[in-house]
Structure 1
Amino acid sequence: MKALQSNNSKVVSLYVSRGAYISFIQYIVENSLLRISSYVCVANVHMCIEAYDDPAFAQVVNGADLITPDGMPLAKAIKVLYGEDQDRVAGMDLLPDLLQEAEHKGLSCFVYGGSEKMLTKSKEYIETKYPVLRCGFYSPPFRPLTAEEEQADVDRINAFGAHLVFVALGCPKQEKWMARMKGRIQACMIGIGGALPVMVGMQNRAPAWMQNASLEWLYRLMQEPKRLFKRYAYTNTKFLYLLFKQKLGILK
């Protein structure tokens, strides 16, 4: 799977990994089986623009072992820029598929982040859907952690024996946390963002036709207009502008 890791294409600010969807699953499972301390960023337009605006954050994301094209706009951008089709590798698909693979292969999982309410719901869902799977859960405080608290979380996850750690802290917090944990947590970490509440039924996912038409953002906007309108107005517009500049070869 080294070929997948080295097969990257720059999209605005991120070096997005390219390959078939199944190859991403295989790479993550292989790293997990070997307990290689690594992290996977699941990138969308929001993350791409966050990285463009903040070079330090771009370094964090581009330091990941894999950057998956979570949003359909990133997958289509690869087609526009490089003329090659790219599967979408969305966190909402990766999460259940990886849980299923973990159950089949006897891998232990750990969910780090999210509210107590969401983790209670997640525990009930996972125990029902994946009854053989061993999975731990922890909701850290919604504030900066002390060095001692952070180390306690490292020890907690390692003592559990996790192979896969699903990090649900939201962008950019979860990516920065995973980068700090590389070399400390002996597992493959994946930033799953909002995939967990969708999987367990606390939020709805856009219908397939909207996903395929790169309109999943619009579906989310309709669900949370007050929270997301300003973000999408800025990030979507800027992404299209920067993509156009990159296509013309004038993006710095």
Structure 2
Amino acid sequence: MEVLGLSVTTGRYSEFIDKIKHLALSNKSSYVCVANVHMLVEAHNNKSFADIVNSADIVTPDGTPLVWALRLLHKHTQDRVAGMDLLPDLLKQSEQDKIPVYFFGGTEEMIKKTVQFLKVKYPQLTVAGYYSPPFRPMTDTEKTEIERNINRSNAKIVFAVLGCPKQEKWMASMKGKINACMVGIGGALPVLIGEQKRAPKWMQKCGLEWLYRFMQEPRRLAKRYFVTNSIFIWLLLKAMLKQWVALRTNRC
């Protein structure tokens, strides 16, 4: 369903796990975007980025505001499919079904901590490899080598840990080159391993998880949340008004 220019995949939460598992085992190159308000506004401001997101095999409604938008614009009741939930559930499913995983992105320290955490939490999970890219543009030779290493690892799910919009651009550039299902998980690793706390359930349900994260990192997230959220609200109100006018016109 279309939400302010983004084509969002709908369905029950459990169906998303099954769909990603199917993509992972299909031996086809694919990618999954976990869409929140930040991604939607980025796409609104940049058509080429919107094309990247809309070309994804799956676009999950990560943020509660997107779930609300689906209800307001399409009268569709949708489960939230948040990256913070998707990551541990996909890891559990991968352990159960012997699906090798790979991590691309994040700092070397964070990735190593994650791998150690996974050995304890998911002892039967196969981590086929990981790579922390340099904080500079990579050369074509480096990109080709990464592509080869991931394919040689036989990983079926590649978790991209680069943040939006960088990870979506990377996944799109690797579509057709990496024989795995790539999933953009942004900043989910610190929460997964317990370095950052996730918002209480009531804040998640009320769409206030962003506020909880802002209180943890106010300087870094101030502009992103307050400017981006304001733009989203404005776009949603405009879309609702346009829909209302069209409905009134048709009745007349």
| TM-score (norm: length of structure 1) | 0.94
Separation of aligned partners in 1, 2:27 and 2:95: 16
Alignment-derived partner of residue 193 in structure 1: 186
- 1:76 deviates by 1.1
Alignment-derived partner of residue 30 in structure 2: 38
How do 1:39-188 residues align onto structure 2 when only pairs under 5 Å count?
Answer: 39-135=31-127, 136-188=129-181
Separation of aligned partners in 2, 1:32 and 1:227: 34
Separation of aligned partners in 2, 1:64 and 1:134: 26
- 1:13 deviates by 2.4
SS of equivalent to 2:2: strand
Runs (4+) of structure 1 exceeding 4 A deviation are none
Separation of aligned partners in 2, 1:15 and 1:134: 33
SS of equivalent to 2:215: helix
Corresponding letter in the other structure for 2:49: F
How do 1:211-230 residues align onto structure 2 when only pairs under 5 Å count?
Answer: 211-230=204-223
Aligned residue pairs: how many?
243
- 8 Å Cα contact 1:33-1:163 kept in structure 2: yes
Alignment-derived partner of residue 26 in structure 1: 18
- 8 Å Cα contact 1:167-1:192 kept in structure 2: yes
SS of equivalent to 1:193: coil
Alignment-derived partner of residue 250 in structure 2: none
Alignment-derived partner of residue 240 in structure 2: 247
Alignment-derived partner of residue 3 in structure 1: none
- Indicate whether 1:15 and 2:7 are aligned: yes
SS of equivalent to 2:8: strand
Separation of aligned partners in 2, 1:197 and 1:154: 25
SS of equivalent to 1:221: helix
Separation of aligned partners in 2, 1:228 and 1:196: 17
- 1:202 deviates by 1.7
Alignment-derived partner of residue 249 in structure 2: none
- 1:215 deviates by 0.2
Separation of aligned partners in 1, 2:93 and 2:28: 17
Corresponding letter in the other structure for 1:21: Y
Separation of aligned partners in 2, 1:34 and 1:15: 23
| TM-score (norm: length of structure 2) | 0.94
Corresponding letter in the other structure for 2:148: D
5+ long unaligned stretches in structure 2: 246-252
The counterpart of 1:202, out of the listed 179, 195, 203, is 195
5+ long unaligned stretches in structure 1: 1-8
- 1:71 deviates by 0.6
Corresponding letter in the other structure for 2:167: Q
Corresponding letter in the other structure for 1:14: L
Larger Rg: 2
SS of equivalent to 1:111: strand
- 1:179 deviates by 0.2
Alignment-derived partner of residue 4 in structure 1: none
